[in-house]
Structure 1
Amino acid sequence: MSGDRDKGGSGATVPLAELRDPAFTPSRKQVADLIETIAGGDEETARAAAHALSRTQSPVAARVAAALEGRSPQERARLADALRLLAGRGDDDVIVAALVQSLADPEPRVRKAAARGLGKIGSDIASDALERASREERDETVIRALDRAQSGLGRDRERVPASAIETDAELDRPRRVVFRCRRGLEPLLAREIEEGIGLATETERPGAVVAVSRGPLRIFSKSRIALDIAFEVRGPASAVDPAAAAAELLASSEARSILAALTRGPVRYRLAWDDGGKRRGLTAAITRRVADLTDGAIADDPRAASWDVLVAADASSIELAPRWVDERFAYRSADVPAASHPTIAAALALAAGVREDDVVWDPFVGSGLELCERSLIGPYARLLGTDVDPRALERARTNLEAAGARRFDLSVADARHFDVSGVSLVITNPPMGRRLVRGGALDELLAEVAWRAAAVLAPRGRVVLLSPRPRVTREAFESGNLVLERERPVDLGGFEAVLQRFRK
């Protein structure tokens, strides 16, 4: 093995729980660490790291392709397979070139991975490369992979019409809609659903709020706190035959009614398990039974699925999650390491509330998402953001302008000494310690910024933050004559912070 590796990494390991969190968006600085995890981690962690890498905001295919050099056969196979997940992000030419080269790799596992990837991308170059490799290949396992890839490309060419989600269609009657969120944000999400969408909520459970609605689907996008939505179809509490139970739920009149109403074209789905498990044999049994029960009207087709079907581990329920274009955060075109996820920024903005005369300050503005979200939920007088990094302010300006924000000022400044007055709202998601500031230095920074915020806050002003050190911020704000109104732990994918709201 070569010692030449991507030099951008810190050597840190991202926890598996965070890798599997669908809301985790890796920073550019974590790309090298993720590549090494894909290559050398255990199978479960490597798979989760590959999926996390596909959620990065910037092109990374070239770095993964370069990392193939000098690796062991297993590492090359894993990295080639990871390239498959990066398709459709604007750098498919790089991916195709790397996978075509990998078709000539001496290791069969690498050639199989390359065949799978080229079969997914499906360009003319990929098709020609698969055809050439099929004529020359001698390993039976690789030949089968090449045949499957070519067969898939043939189905893609024959597939008409296309399948898509209808966002303006309504259901035949009210159905259970699951809004998923970060654990700890359920009360805020329920409030948003009731006040912002006008739906009555039925239940709250860890990481989700359930409401009942006929739709249309587009109204659910009014929730800015939800990570995604799905329609829940319930069955018996326990099943003797999980494959039969799950298949019958998916083929039920309730599920078929939902799928038919919201799908333009044939219904295609990808089946997965809500606990992240694979269960390949059970999955295959379910998809075969669904095809039999529906005469092929509901087709298992991960290549062109318009629905994700999530099966409960005990097969007592399924969730039908539509694959639709989420345009809620289209303004987010620029990012910084350890930036907020926009759904968290939206939760902070809702927790802060709206006053028309608000002068809003984010002491750790980063890419500006908290200010963007505050600007979108209601009127304000002025938005202020400070950061010690000029590059962060450039990205915040880009995002704020894209969000349509007006009357904002961004300053290169240390929040501990920022000269401002008349602030009615401080809203921030400060550094979380693991990536930017560590240990006692973080405690000191948070306390000093809290004292400064308390000093510049107008009477009856509010502070809303996601604190990585809740005791430190609580004591600091209370020493500045602020009253803690509420606090609640929030799961950030492997570690907790606390959402706090204070009033002066």
Structure 2
Amino acid sequence: MARSTQPSTLRLDAKVSQVAGLRIHLRTRRGLEAFVRDELLQHPTLNDRFKLLKVSAGCVAITATASFSVGDLYQLRTFGSIHFVLGVVPTSKDIDVAALAKLIASPLTQRICSKLTDGQPRYRLKFMRAKVPYGTAQAVINQAFAQCPDLLNDPRQAPWAIDVYPEKIGSSVELRPRVSPDPRFVYRADDVPASTHPPLAAAMAKLAGQTDNEVVWDPFCGSGLELIERSLLGGVQAIIASDIAPKAVEIARLNLEKAGVTNASVSTHACDFREHQDIEDLPAGGVSLMITNPPLGRRVRVADMQGLFEEIFKVAARNLRKGGRLVILNPLKRTNAPASLKLQSGDPVDVGGFECRLEKWVKL
């Protein structure tokens, strides 16, 4: 079969104008749905261009009330990916090949892809949370191609994915733009193992809230995402990034520079958080926000997790000013925190295959 060999790219700024009845899923990690919802509803320009339909585990369903672009939605920082819902295939014992192929080749798919793609539309088919025999998947692809030869299955160079999600009502068939690099997080010049998922870092910054003349410290800074996301919200006077790994500190410094963090003084330190008294720029009892994703015991092993977190909370109690906040990911069911710290919120979130609590503590 004849296929264009020219690469296809997404048009993030192209406007989708026929929006009536178009359902969009903003998919995110479980536990971050409320952040996505609130970010949309509070956004100064998007809140009146989209209508909230439903919030469910890992998904915020919306519909557009005016023309929009994919780039418009990328003003929101706490979702993971954007999905245009093509339809639902009723639940059955086996994959309904004909019904699925019909949705893939539908006029809606063609309209969105032709509007938002430079070059020939290409997609890759992915069955989420399910194992589907290769022959079945190939049959779907072949039938879709027979109905729409202009839409090519090409998993190597496809700017689109068609994801099939098993839901209670059936299989939700969704068209997802494969946006890479993510335009929201292009400041990531480099990364470290076990660093925070960027939308989760953005949610942590949102949870922290804003105060003026903020002094922010991350004692396990990793690649610096939490500090950058908090800085982007404004009101930050000083940023202090420290980590026991010198390589992480260097990467955090590079990322902070690439993010253009110029609205605050920035200092970086390679040291153990227990040696906080040696950090010259760390004001004793003067930190307004401590925001951190410490080792959680999975990708980075910790011999005494309970002891580590007790020390983290003691250090927070010493260094936070009155009214200061600690925002932290906590894998423990119980935490022995000093009496001067009060838990304000603590909800479970998916941190990559397992759950932790995303907690906010306040210094009394």
What corresponds to 1:210 in structure 2?
Answer: 61
Query: 1:361 touches 1:426 (CA, 8 Å); kept in 2?
Result: yes
Is residue 460 from structure 1 mapped to residue 318 from structure 2 by the alignment? no
Paired residues of 2:295 and 2:302 also in contact (CA < 8 A): no
For the residues of structure 2 that align with 1:293 and 1:183, how far apart are their CA atoms? Answer: 36
Contact map agreement 1:367 1:392 (CA 8 A) in 2? yes
Q: Answer yes or no: is 1:415 the counterpart of 2:268.
A: no
2:291 match: 427
CA distance in 2 between partners of 1:437 and 1:366 (Å): 15
> For the residues of structure 1 that align with 2:222 and 2:91, how far apart are their CA atoms?
48
1:347 to 183, 203, 226: 203
Identity %: 37
Unaligned runs of 5+ in 1: 1-150
2:15 counterpart of 1:170? yes
Higher Cα Rg, which structure:
1
Task: Tell me the residue number matched to 1:442.
Answer: 305
Q: How does 1:192-207 map to 2 (within 5 A)?
A: 192-196=39-43, 197-198=46-47, 199-207=50-58
Q: Deviations over 1:460-501 (max 9, x none)?
A: 2111111122522xx31xx23222111111122332211001
What amino acid maps onto 1:442 in structure 2? M
1:241, distance to aligned residue in structure 2 (A): 6.7
Q: How many residues align?
A: 343
The aligned amino acid for 1:181 is T
1:338 and 1:236 map into 2 onto residues whose CA distance is 37
Moved more, 364-373 or 410-419: 410-419
Please identify, of 307-316 and 347-356, the stretch whose mean Cα deviation from structure 2 is larger. 307-316
Within 5 Å, give how 1:215-254 maps onto structure 2. 215-235=68-88, 237-238=90-91, 242-254=96-108
1:191 aligns with 2:41: no
Distance in 2 (alpha carbons) for counterparts of 1:166 and 1:426:
39
Q: Deviations over 1:394-418 (max 9, x none)?
A: 1211111111113111223332342
Q: Does the C-alpha gap of structure 1 residues 414 and 209 become closer, same or farther in structure 2, counting only changes over 3 Å?
A: same
Which of 313, 319, 329 matches 2:185? 329
TM-score scaled to structure 1, two decimals? 0.63
Deviations 1:434-465 (A, max 9, x none): 343424x2221211221121122122211111
Residue type matched to 2:69 in 1?
P
CA gap 1:253/1:372 in 2 versus in 1, 3 angstroms: same
1:338-381 Cα distance to aligned partner (Å, 9 max, x none): 22222221111111112222111112112212111111222311
- CA shift in 2, pair 1:297/1:390, >3 Å: closer
| Contact kept in structure 1, 2:125 and 2:153, CA below 8 Å | yes
CA contact (8 A) 1:272 1:278 kept: no
Given that 2:89 and 2:96 are in contact with CA atoms closer than 8 Å, whether structure 1 keeps it comes out as: no
Consecutive unaligned residues in structure 2, runs of 5 or more: 278-282
In 2, the alpha carbon distance for the partners of 1:236 and 1:414 equals 53
User: What amino acid maps onto 1:489 in structure 2?
Assistant: P
- Post-superposition offset of 1:329: 1.6
SS of match in other structure, 1:182: coil
Question: Looking at both structures, which has the greater relative contact order when contacts are Cα pairs under 8 Å and sequence separation is at least 6?
Answer: 2
Q: CA RMSD in A?
A: 2.3
Structure with greater strand percent: 2
Task: Evaluate the alpha carbon distance shift between residue 449 and residue 303 of structure 1 in structure 2; reply closer, same or farther with a 3 A threshold.
Answer: closer
Q: Which has the higher helix share?
A: 1
Contact 1:384–1:408 (CA under 8 A) maintained in structure 2: yes
CA deviation after TM superposition for structure 1 residue 319, in Å: 0.5
TM-score, length-scaled by structure 2: 0.86
- The reply on whether 1:288 has 2:142 as its aligned counterpart is yes
| Counterpart-to-counterpart distance in 2, 1:179 and 1:415 | 37
How far apart, in 1, do the equivalents of 2:124 and 2:86 lie? 16
Q: How does 1:64-463 map to 2 (within 5 A)?
A: 159=4, 162-171=7-16, 172-174=18-20, 175-196=22-43, 197-198=46-47, 199-213=50-64, 214-235=67-88, 237-238=90-91, 242-294=96-148, 296-313=149-166, 316-325=171-180, 326-406=182-262, 407-419=265-277, 420-421=283-284, 422-439=286-303, 441-463=304-326
Structure 1's 241 and 366: CA in aligned 2 closer, same or farther, altered over 3 A? closer
Task: In structure 1, give the amino acid aligned to 2:232.
Answer: L
Q: Equivalents in 2 of 1:290, 1:249: separation in Å?
A: 8
Provide the rounded CA distance (Å) in 1 between the counterparts of 2:128 and 2:147. Answer: 23
**1:437 and 1:382, CA in 2 relative to 1: closer, same or farther beyond 3 A?**
same
Q: Which residue of 2 is the match for residue 19 of structure 1?
A: none
Contact 2:31 2:349 in 1 (8 A): yes
| Cα distance in 2 for residues equivalent to 1:336 and 1:316 | 36
Q: SS of the residue aligned with 1:351?
A: helix
CA contact (8 A) 1:455 1:480 kept: no
Runs (4 or more) in structure 1 with deviation over 4 Å come to none
Check the 8 A contact 2:95/2:136 in 1, yes or no.
no
Cα offsets for 1:267-315 (capped at 9, x unmatched): 2222121225232222222222222323x13222334322111124586
Amino acid aligned to 2:313: A
Q: Report how far residue 202 of structure 1 moved.
A: 1.7
Contact 1:468–1:496 (CA under 8 A) maintained in structure 2: yes
SS of corresponding position for 1:367? coil
Change (3 A) 1:160 1:489: same
Deviations along 1:183-236, one digit per CA (max 9) or x if unpaired, are 111111221232244343221222221221242010121222222211112235
